[in-house]
């Protein structure tokens, strides 16, 4: 007599299927819902639930018709000069849009030292602005506009990799001022985590900047969506507006909008 086959619970089958989906994304960047249905012989709703659970656990990111691999940012922080050359056209469009749509005459602004944010300076044509920063590159950008702009900087420890001033002096400086708008960038953004970044020293200063501002505007190009860096910089509810480019994933933009963030796409 043939012994009965051992019973396999539905939960084990579900866990195995989800584990295999994650393994598939380790060897390919995207997978389609149709391919998953054919491979596992299950319904569209089952695949939808699988992808929803895996996205909630930050193991993938859902897109129209399937899912893509979530990239985790490298721990090694790139040099400022190298970052400036990446995705330059997207960063330029975002910086121009932010300068033209979020700044008014007589505003007091914090421009942190990120490459996209520092690019805003060349498009600032408003009168009697006050610009405050912790970045040497940002200071260099504003130098030609000193005739119609007040420029201020914190003290602190100068970091070679980012050309930024960080540490207790910088944090205290930003905790003791109040500004209209803080423009910030970061290494990654997801609807669940908000903005994430690599270096704790940079994060502490940026958080102090955010705390001093009436409005926080994040400038994030589309390559940063779905990226989770070392530590959380700002929760989604701390971000008032987001400016990105047209390649940003629609699902993420919708999710961020539903969280109360004002989403703008620069063309």
Residue 73 belongs to a domain: no
Question: Does 131 share its domain with 64?
Answer: no
Question: Does 197 share its domain with 90?
Answer: yes
Residue 229 pLDDT: 87
Instruction: Compute the average pLDDT of residues 160-176.
Output: 95
pTM over 0.85: no
Q: In this predicted model, what pLDDT tens digit does every residue of 16-42 receive, in sequence order?
A: 899 899 888 877 778 999 999 999 999
Residue 3 belongs to a domain: no
**Regarding beta strands 30-32 and 66-68, do their DSSP bridges make them parallel or antiparallel, or are they unpaired?**
antiparallel
Q: How confident is the model at residue 76 (pLDDT cuts 50, 70, 90)?
A: low
Share of the chain above pLDDT 70, in %: 89
Question: Does 225 share its domain with 184?
Answer: yes
Residue 183 belongs to a domain: yes
Question: Does 155 share its domain with 40?
Answer: no
Residue 75 belongs to a domain: no
Q: In this predicted model, what pLDDT tens digit does every residue of 187-239 receive, in sequence order?
A: 999 999 999 998 999 999 999 999 999 999 999 999 899 888 889 999 999 99
Least-confidence region, from 83-92, 181-190, 203-212: 83-92
Helix (H, G, I), strand (E, B) or coil at 122: helix
- For 112-167, strand residue ranges (E) read 129-133, 149-153, 157-159, 164-166
CA 10, CA 216: separation in Å to the nearest integer? Answer: 46
Q: End of a domain among 24, 46, 68?
A: 68
Yes or no: say if 121 and 111 are a contact pair by the CB < 8 Å rule. Answer: yes
Query: Which residue in 32, 35, 42 sits closest to 67, CA to CA?
Result: 32
66 phi/psi in degrees, rounded to 5: 165, -140
How far is the CA of 231 from the CAs of 31, 252, 263, in angstroms? 28, 20, 23
Domain count, the chain: 2
CATH number reported for the structural domain that contains residue 226 in this entry = 3.40.50.1360
Q: Which residues contact 255 (CB under 8 A, 6 or more apart)?
A: 191
Q: In this predicted model, what pLDDT tens digit does every residue of 129-141 receive, in sequence order?
A: 999 999 999 999 9
CATH number reported for the structural domain that contains residue 17 in this entry = 1.10.10.10
Instruction: Compute the average pLDDT of residues 110-120.
Output: 95
């Amino acid at each position: 007599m043939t012994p009965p086959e051992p019973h396999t619970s539905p939960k084990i089958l579900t866990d195995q299927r989800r584990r295999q989906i994650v393994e598939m994304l380790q060897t390919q960047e995207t997978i389609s819902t149709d391919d998953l249905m054919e491979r596992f012989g299950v319904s569209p709703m089952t695949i939808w639930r699988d992808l929803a659970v895996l996205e909630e656990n930050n193991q993938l990111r859902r897109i129209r018709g399937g899912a893509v691999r979530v990239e985790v940012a490298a721990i090694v922080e790139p040099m400022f000069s190298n970052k400036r050359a990446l995705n330059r056209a997207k960063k330029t469009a975002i910086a121009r849009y932010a300068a033209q749509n979020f700044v008014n005459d007589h505003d007091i602004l914090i421009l942190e030292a990120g490459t996209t944010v520092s690019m805003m300076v060349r498009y600032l044509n408003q009168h009697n602005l006050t610009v405050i920063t912790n970045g040497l590159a940002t200071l260099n950008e504003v130098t030609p506009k000193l005739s119609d702009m007040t420029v201020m900087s914190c003290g602190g420890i100068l970091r070679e990799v980012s050309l930024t001033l960080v540490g207790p002096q910088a944090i205290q400086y930003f905790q003791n001022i109040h500004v209209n708008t803080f423009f910030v960038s970061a290494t990654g953004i997801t609807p669940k985590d908000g903005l994430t970044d690599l270096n704790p020293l940079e994060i502490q200063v940026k958080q102090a900047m955010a705390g001093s501002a009436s409005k926080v505007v994040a400038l994030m190009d589309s390559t940063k969506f779905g990226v989770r860096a070392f530590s959380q910089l700002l929760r989604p509810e701390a971000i008032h507006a987001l400016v990105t480019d047209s390649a940003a994933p629609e699902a993420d933009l919708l999710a961020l909008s539903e969280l109360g963030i004002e989403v703008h796409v620069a063309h």
